[in-house]
Amino acid sequence: SVDFFNRINLLYGTVCEYCTEQTCPTMSGGPKYEYHWCDGQTYKKPTALPAPNYIALLMEWVEAQINDENIFPVKVGVPFPKTFLPTVKKVLSRLFRVFVHVYIHHFDKMVALGAEAHVNTCYKHFYYFVTEYNLVDKKELEPLRDMTAKICH
């Protein structure tokens, strides 16, 4: 999860100047998929946000999860909590949404920046990992199904 967080954060960083409240007023993956933010604290109900705001909150939330030693223990001999697997699944499902947004709304920029091969490699690594270990629900993967069929099979 930590490695994927770092890679996806870096990938989004390459296109974030093109992802603004004006260009991306909703966090979406095309017309069929819209994501609403809910963290149970500041946003108690799922809330529609511009993509850059959603992604900033998502990255802050993921960072808080992976830095919480009660969830991700770092000391030898400290067991992982019962909430570890559900938390990892939620983290990875949410990170997948960044791939969805980048591929559907900013892939042309990735190509123009010469980052197509890199983003595809990162995506394949992520996809193979989450599908091998059943960490992201199949319906969450739907927005990139066609692209995944082309580059991962």
Binding site, by residue number, is 19, 24, 101, 106
Give the integer Cα–Cα distance in Å for 114 and 66.
30
Cα-atom radius of gyration of the chain, to the nearest Å? 16
**Residues that constitute the known binding site for Zn(2+):** 19, 24, 101, 106
* Structure letter (DSSP) for residue 79: P
Name the residue among 33, 4, 14 with its Cα closest to residue 145.
33
Query: Which sign does the torsion angle of CA 6, 145, 30, 65 carry?
Result: negative
Instruction: Work out the number of other CB atoms within 10 angstroms of the CB of residue 95.
Output: 22
